Structure 1
Amino acid sequence: MRIVRYHAHGSPEVLVTEETDLPAYGPQDVLVRATAIGVDHADVQRRRGTFPLGAPSLPHCPSTDVTGVVEAVGRDVQGLAPGTRVLVWKAPAAYADYVAAPASRVLPLPDGIDDAEATLLGSTGRVALNLLRTAAVSAGESVLVHAGAGAVGHIAVQAARQLGAARVIATAGSEEKREFVRSLGADHVVDYTAADWPEQVTEAAGGGVDAVLDGVGGKQLLTDVRLLAPYGRLVVYGGSGGDTVQPDLPVLDLLGMRTVTGFSMPAVLEHRPRQAQQAVRDLVRMVTDGSVRPVIHARVPLTEAARAHELLEERRTMGRVVLVTT
């Protein structure tokens, strides 16, 4: 089978397609023939060697969300059979024709959801929904979603409305992206490159913001804290902006009953597994009934993974980039 990996950190050209054996699978695992593979900003950062939580050992093939068809199951697996169309979230060595993963990470897919779109039901969409729940968004509140046109952001913008948010505000860096996010139901979309973007957010929120979702990180975190209304919550979940040094947070900035929380999907899976599973079920329902629309920016052949990474580095994507195997 084909697998895409890199043997050194660097530009997209370090991604190479190689031939290898099918992955081994154990008694509690499932072997899946991949059809669509999600590509994330974290993949780009790991490839560069700039991921905030450290660079992976080499050689490395990214772990990400995969949709496909069950090829075989381990002897202890129940409820899944060869031929079943499934989603695998955070499949190891995912840029490949076949992936093997624990059955606990495999979800049968309903009819009517495209394979590429279904990749957004995995860790990406689940992150979006769990971010909103970590922020405790409730009816009538205002929500600010940074990078609203991104893979996580565009799901969060839509799901926030489903959770009752009265004002959904987002940031995006181009007019094309801002129009895209408006089309998803955002009430206000702010150009984060404008010097007065914080003032625009405050005006759009009618004062302070009740909840902020930030996967960009860097120096804007201090601004986010100061945008919060009393009892406002900031949830930090990444550093896609590329800043490797995060600012110190003055304790005095929290005295207005503001809360800052870090978010990690692996921590949710470990300590709140039922919450994680419920988020997937809720997201499947939202996508099936049309209240949340996953958007695919580009479908790129597996052997052109370098081009998929280039699309993300150009920061012009709206929705998700996926690799396809056929």
Structure 2
Amino acid sequence: MRRVRYAHSGGPEVLFTEDVAVPAPGPGELLVRVAAAGVTLPVVRKVREPREPIPLGGEIAGEVVSTGDGVSGYATGDRVTGLCFGHGYADFALLHTAMASPVPDAASAVDAVALVRSGLVAYGALDAARPEAGETALVTAAASGVGQLAVQLAKLRGASRVVGAVSAGGGAGGARSGKADFVRSLGADEVITYDEEKWGEPVDYVLDAVGGELLTPAVRALAPHGRLVAYSSGGGTVEAYDLLVGAKSVIGFQMALIARGKPEVYEAWRRELWRLFAEGALRPAVHAEFALEDAAKAHEAIEARSNLGKVVLVP
């Protein structure tokens, strides 16, 4: 089978495709013929980190071709999606049943990859903000795979005004306009770019997927008693004084802690996402589908911040 990996840190250019044996599923694992694999910013960032290479994992969707010992509830031929901690950029991947869920007949593998993992992060971050009907929200990286769903979910949870914050897409006017139009099509009431001096009227909560230097303006965008939910892998620091003057708070959110520690919550969120999808209330957008051999181009799209929605590999 084909598999994408890298031997040393760097940009998209270090990715290469190799032929390897199909792995055998271990206890509790499913061997999945991958029909779609999501490309995420955290994985793209990992490739650039000066450390030992890691498997390129993430959300996958496809068909079960065999099962390991102790597997129940899944059989050969089932369509599944879930988070793969091993090599996901591949023709076949291993998926533990604890991270797997069925894909409804009405959904494609690409739909599943665009909806489930990104949707779980968006749903969980929004839940951590404790939103109340009528409050106002700001979502950073609003055109990303997670951000696009967070904008829609905030509206569905009763936000009276949702502001989408985006990068300028390299600074080109067309890219800026294209992102703004895209985010508004998701239901955002306003769209701002990170380089604007003032991020509009204060909001009750911010869902931040960027981190780093954006944490400071994100905190300043909060109204008194506002909440910032930080779920980025980008790090960053917040000045305590900026929190004190407005009685603001910062809440950290990590999906893995929910998946491991509160599986019943994880499953409830997952069911709700599929319900909203089936009703047409939640529409995951896909920026582009890339062949496995074009994984470098997929990473380039993420690094350039040019994507409008989810970036997907289709083996």
**TM-score normalised according to structure 2 size:** 0.93
1:249 aligned to which of 213, 217, 239: 239
- The 2-side partners of 1:90 and 1:153 are apart by 21
Secondary structure of the residue that 1:151 maps to in structure 2? coil
Which structure 2 residues correspond to residues 96-115 of structure 1 after superposition, within 5 A?
Answer: 96-115=90-109
Whether the aligned pair in 2 keeps the contact of 1:66 and 1:91 (CA below 8 Å) is: no
**Shift, 1:124, TM fit:** 1.4
Question: Paired residue for 1:293?
Answer: 283
**Counterpart amino acid of 1:46?**
K
Tell me what 2:220 maps to. 226
Aligned to 2:171: none
**Counterpart residue number, 1:278:** 268
- TM-superposed deviation, 1:278: 1.2
1:232 positional shift: 1.3
SS in structure 2 opposite 1:229? strand
The CA deviation string for residues 17-72 of structure 1, in whole angstroms up to 9 with x for no partner, is 0111112322211111000000011121111117xxxx5x33x3211000100001
Identity %: 39
User: Equivalent residues in 2 for 1:51-200 (5 A)?
Assistant: 55=51, 57-58=52-53, 60-172=54-166, 173=168, 174-196=176-198, 198=199, 200=200
**What are the superposed Cα offsets for residues 172-208 of structure 1, whole Å, 9 maximum, x if unpaired?**
2311001001011111111222233x2x2x1xxxxx3
Where 1:155 maps in the other structure, the secondary structure is helix
Give the whole-Å Cα distance in 1 for the aligned partners of 2:63 and 2:23: 15
Amino acid of the residue matched to residue 181 of structure 1?
A: V
Instruction: Sort the Cα spacing of 1:276 and 1:83 in 2 relative to 1 into closer, same or farther, 3 A.
Output: same
Measure the CA separation in 2 of the matches of 1:9 and 1:269.
29
Distance of 1:75 and 1:49 partners within structure 2? 36
Offset of residue 151 of structure 1? 0.7
Structure 1 segments unaligned to the other structure (5+ residues): 203-207
Q: CA deviation at 1:80?
A: 0.8
Change (3 A) 1:275 1:255: farther
Counterpart Cα distance in 2 of 1:294 and 1:252: 35
Query: Any conservation in 1 of the 2:6–2:14 contact (CA below 8 Å)?
Result: yes
What amino acid maps onto 2:215 in structure 1? Answer: L
List structure 1 segments (4+ residues) > 4 angstroms apart after TM superposition: none
- Residues 190, 252 of structure 1: CA spacing in aligned structure 2 closer, same or farther, 3 A cutoff? closer
Structure 2 stretches lacking a partner, 5+ long: 169-175
Q: Is the contact made by 1:121 and 1:280 (CA closer than 8 Å) also made in structure 2? A: no
* Aligned match of 1:320: 310
- TM-score using structure 1 length: 0.90
Q: CA RMSD in A?
A: 1.6
